[in-house]
Each structure stands twice: as structure tokens, then as C-alpha cells.
Amino acid sequence: MTEAPREQRNVYRGDPARAWILAEIISPLGQSCELELLVDTGNPCAIIVSQGTMELLRWRDSGSTRSNFGALEGGWLRLAIPDIGFDVKILGYANDSVVNVVKRSDERFAGLVGLPLLRMLEYGGNDGWFWVRPLEKH
């Protein structure tokens, strides 16, 4: 008998209703912050969080880039999704304007994840919920 895949499922939320994941950002000192992050498959950044989150949890600095929301401050973050055993260090960005726009859909959203992160996972959904699970190893 095969074991069911580990996955995180979340009901769409917000106005308009949006896909989201629950992730943990972990600092080099072991501090962590659980964040509800809007899923944006059209975003070319792995993760965008607030300036405060970046300052508190960043592993190391990275270059900044420009966007239609202004400067995106780069930094390396450790992102985990414990439900599915996912834990990576990933290049992320900070921009409070992006986070404020995300919060217009639902105040609990603390940032967003984009396609570079999602490509490290299997993801999908239907008309009621969105799921992520670890990539199947071949």
C-alpha cells in the first residue's frame, strides 16, 4: 500500500479569493515567524515580505532590484513548510508597498510567494482550495 503524499491544503481566502500557503521563515539564530503568504504564479520573485520581516530574519544581504512598486531589497531567507518537510534557503525581497497591496485581499497575508518558489514544489488546486506538496523524487 502506498502512503498518501504529504501536502498542505488551504481554502481560498480574501476578496478576491486567493490561493495562499502557510510558511515559516527562520533566522540564523533560530527565531522564526509563521506567515500566511499569497500565491502569485505570475510573480518572478520567490518571496516578497515586509522590510521588518527581512531585517529580522535575513541570513545575508543580496542585491536589490527595481519593480513597478519601487526598490525590492534582496536578502537570503530560510523558508520552511513543516507540514510537507520543505526547508530551503532562497533569495527573497522586501517591499512594504507590495505587502500592503497583498493585504487588500486579506489582512492576514504577510507577503507573497511567486513562481521560483512554486517550481520547487508540486502545486495545484480546484475551485475550493489550493495545495502544495514536495516534489516527487524519481
What sign does the CA torsion over 70, 74, 77, 79 have? positive
pLDDT tens for the chain, 138 residues: list them.
Answer: 556 568 999 999 999 999 999 999 999 999 999 999 999 999 999 999 999 999 999 999 999 888 888 889 999 999 999 999 999 999 999 999 999 999 999 999 999 999 999 999 999 999 999 999 999 775
Cell of 136: 516527487
- By C-alpha distance, which of 100, 126, 123 is closest to 112? 100
pLDDT at 65 (0 to 100): 84
- Tell me if 76 sits within 8 A of 92, measured CB to CB: yes
Cα–Cα distance for residue pair 127/138, rounded to 1 Å: 29
The predicted structure's pLDDT at residue 117? 97
The pTM (predicted TM-score) of the whole model is 0.93
Nearest Cα neighbor of 46 from 93, 102, 94 is 93
Helix (H, G, I), strand (E, B) or coil at 93: strand
Cis peptide before 5 (omega within 30 of 0): no
The answer to whether 66 and 45 are in contact (CB under 8 A) is no
CB 109 within 8 A of CB 14: yes
Distance CA 90, CA 81 (A): 13
- Predicted local confidence at residue 58, as pLDDT: 96
pLDDT confidence of residue 136: 79
